[in-house]
Chain A
């Protein structure tokens, strides 16, 4: 909290500059702390197994084996896996942003009988650990003939998830009702209000849902593993597991693979961030 107590500088500009540099220093320190584990991953990814086995471990690799990355890519058909994963992830993002914002609008902005009870049920669906319903789910999808297809991974996404509905409901409820009332008087339907008022005002929230969904689908492992049998349908996370063995793990490949899988997520996040800045001006303007 120290940074907030610096208002004894007379000039606002000086104050800004100083507080900015303090923030910068804090952020830099934090970055080093957060990145050091990732550095460790990276260092392992370029070592050879012999160096990984040495004791004590080396923080700075003695030898940089960039070929590990090429070897990693050759160990499994990762290009196909990437396309499969992108397909699944794209569907997940589309389905989740659409359905969850729709459902959340109902819970946040429309009054109806039984809303509180239904909302409690919605929350309750988060409270049972997924693995006690895993086998019943599997059996159900098997009976539907959906095994070895993407259907069990895609279809449920269209029916919303408690986490995101709750999240968006919270965001929607912070949007002043006056904005809606005005539109209502002009005869706008809820569908119109949802699409034309609430969604544009909630870009940061929708972006958050998109990022989270992307992450979740991109990293999902147990779902694809359970439901897919054909190697041609596999995803990246399943592909990465080939390096993990019972007795010996190919650490360098595992880490190289993990870092490569991470890259698209980072790029996407970097791009998506602009919604965090755009949203601000809109809401600020509307509140007047």
Chain B
């Protein structure tokens, strides 16, 4: 009995075991498949098998994170409509959890076996383009497609004049005000504030104190948005100059914005603000819906649907984000998602065919109305605002959301410094906690981001 023999025997046993095991679990997988079919309404996968037999149909795997009760049926209806509209491509929907979907996609791209279409973050398209994670789809697009989408959204999918993704949905920020509370405070319930000064003035009248504790607060600048949005609102631009390839953080108006937010908050004190943030920072209850906040800046889609579903008795109005001072502009901020073809997908042309449908006016209107979500296709969005499916209030909010797109800027991550905000946020935080002035914060941030951009050259 020598060492080699023993090892050999062991390896043989192991190999046998591996073979046996792979057979086993393959059967297991198949077994559960057939065993449970009758009891479940699995979508996509079952009919996919039948059509694949015809040989010419391209089967596309489409990954989204829309698995919830509300969103899943809507996206699957769109897919079904697409599948029925032609007979060359068949799309199968796979929903994966929010966040993890992109980790899985990345691994799949690395292994060379990605899905055919995926919904991904709009701000990081350029980054994925530079890192070869997404297909260049310029050649498959039609002339003039650019004009179908809001320019800020379209541009986010472009890197060095090549298109890598088409925008699907987006969001913006608008002002909500509680009409009943306005009336109680002696304000005109139909007259929202339009400038920062007015916001401050109205808010003070809306504050209601009970001893040391606030029953209701008129407005908090850091709820729903952050100080970064106030900076953009003041300066009218984002934090990166894509032409010059450098940060544009330090700016007098930005300093003013930071100071305004700080001064505003200091009237309440850190305790009140932190407590407030914590109570409502967990996505569960919303202070505006709960009648604890007189005015709020929020997305049209997110807060409206909450008010519609859980806040029936709140009488509210909507208006554009206030401006720094008259004539400065109502600039506000948005994000969104794109549909793209992961790098290495088997048939990019077919994938783009589906993406065109997905971001086309018909599907976009359907998505917009059913989800009450801002969409990227202009025609689709404008049609949705007129839709009879929406209530009068719904139409009003949606129309404002559509109109607000001209004030909405996006802040895609620059490829030179994709994680620039991880350097900016700590500086702003230090300012917020009183450890440095606004000038210092922005200058430090500007320098740090510049260094980062240079070091990644």
Contacts and interface: CB of A to CB of B under 8 A. Distances in A.
A and B touch in their complex, CB below 8 angstroms: yes
Interface of A: 49-50, 52-57, 75, 77, 79-80, 83-84, 87, 134-135, 138-139, 142-143, 146-147, 149-151, 154-155, 158, 221-222, 225-226, 229-233, 238, 241-251
Interface in B31-56: 32-33, 36, 39-40, 42, 45
Nearest to B111: A142
B176 to A, nearest CB: 16
B227 interface: no
Given A55-B285, A77-B40, A87-B28, A135 B68 contact: no
B107 interface: yes
Interface residues of B, number: 54
A146 B72 CA distance: 29
B97 interface: yes
Contacts of B289: 53
B42 A149 contact: no
B292 interface: yes
A41 to B, nearest CB: 13
B110 A135 contact: yes
B22 A241 contact: no
A225 B279 contact: no
A81 to B, nearest CB: 10
Contact of A54 (B17, B106, B285): B285
A75 B95 CA distance: 13
Interface in B302-332: 302, 305-306, 309-311
Nearest to B373: A247
Contacts, number: 128
Contacts of B310: 49-50, 53
11 contacts: A53-B284, A135-B107, A138-B107, A147-B113, A151-B25, A230-B29, A231-B45, A231-B94, A241-B67, A242-B72, A244-B98
Given A75-B69, A138-B107, A232 B285 contact: no
B240 interface: no
Nearest to B299: A247
A56 B279 contact: yes
A230 B46 CA distance: 11
Nearest to A239: B67
Among B25, B26, B280, B289: residue with most chain A CB under 10 A: B25
Nearest to A233: B29
A287 to B, nearest CB: 35
A243 B305 CA distance: 17
Q: Which of B40, B68, B279, B292 has the most CB of A within 10 A?
A: B68
Given A142-B111, A151-B25, A229 B94 contact: yes
Contacts of B69: 75, 250
Contacts of A142: 111-113
B32 A149 contact: no
B45 A150 contact: no
A251 B36 CA distance: 28
Contacts of A54: 285, 290
B446 interface: no
B238 interface: no
Contacts of A232: 29, 32-33, 36, 42, 45
Contact of A245 (B61, B71, B103, B287): B71
A7 B107 CA distance: 63
B97 A53 contact: no
B292 A55 contact: yes
Interface string B394-408: 000000000000000
Contacts of A247: 301-302
Most B CB within 10 A of own CB, among A146, A150, A158, A247: A247
Q: Is chain B's interface secondary structure helix, strand, loop, or mixed overall?
A: helix
Closest 10 CB pairs of A and B: A142-B111, A241-B97, A55-B290, A138-B107, A242-B67, A150-B25, A55-B285, A53-B310, A77-B40, A80-B36
A205 to B, nearest CB: 26
B18 interface: yes
A80 B32 CA distance: 7
A79 to B, nearest CB: 7
Contacts of B68: 242-243, 245, 248, 250
Contacts of A244: 97-98
B43 to A, nearest CB: 9
Interface in B342-381: none
Interface of B: 17-18, 21-22, 25-26, 28-29, 32-33, 36, 39-40, 42, 45, 61, 65, 67-69, 71-72, 94-98, 100, 103-104, 106-108, 110-113, 279-280, 283-287, 289-290, 292, 301-302, 305-306, 309-311
Contacts of B42: 77, 231-232
Nearest to A87: B28
A53 B306 contact: yes
A79 B106 CA distance: 30
B21 A151 contact: yes
A145 B250 CA distance: 52
B310 to A, nearest CB: 4
A24 to B, nearest CB: 36
Contact of A151 (B22, B72, B112): B22
B71 A149 contact: no
A146 B22 CA distance: 9
Most chain A CB within a 10 A radius of its CB, from B22, B42, B71, B301: B22
A155 to B, nearest CB: 7
Given A230-B45, A238-B97, A49 B309 contact: yes
Contacts of B279: 55-56
B25 A154 contact: yes
A52 B100 contact: no
Contacts of A251: 284
A226 B111 contact: no
A57 B284 contact: yes
A133 B452 CA distance: 26
A226 to B, nearest CB: 6
B118 to A, nearest CB: 13
Contacts of B67: 241-242
A134 B104 CA distance: 10
A154 B21 contact: yes
Given A226-B104, A238-B97, A250-B68, A138 B26 contact: no
Contacts of B284: 52-53, 57, 251
